[in-house]
Amino acid sequence: MKSRDEIVEKVENSVWSAGYHLTHAHEDLLLFTHNHFLFQVSDPDAPVRVYFNREFDEAKRSPLLSKLSEAVKSEGIELLRAGTYELSTGEGEELQLRFYEPMVS
């Protein structure tokens, strides 16, 4: 059984090779450079959920998911497209994250 930390480390290294760098980790969420997508690692034995930024070009989402899936495949990690998200600044410059179109429960 893999731990959440092992999954995060493998994802971070694999996605780095695809040109993206982990910029922030909070609880089960991993945010990367360019803010095109984020990963949710809630269960180490389940696929990593991928959410795309609603502002990221819809036509580029599937090709990027394929690229990311290929990058993590050698580590035995599976990605699952789970929906979209929106990141905004709330009161006191606190970041707010809103998820849409959940495709998995």
For residue 105, the model assigns a pLDDT of: 46
Question: Residues 58, 60, 63, 64: is their CA dihedral positive or negative?
Answer: negative
Q: How far apart are CA 27 and CA 68, in angstroms?
A: 21
**Burial (0-12, 13-18, 19+ Cβ within 10 Å), 71:** buried
- Low-confidence residues of the chain, pLDDT below 50? 105
What is the maximal distance between C-alpha atoms in the chain?
Answer: 42
For residue 76, the model assigns a pLDDT of: 93
Length of the chain: 105
pLDDT digits (tens, 9 = 90+) for 17-35: 889 999 999 899 999 999 9
For residue 1, the model assigns a pLDDT of: 61
For residue 7, the model assigns a pLDDT of: 92
**Tokens (6 digits) for 33:** 């450079």
pTM over cut 0.85: yes
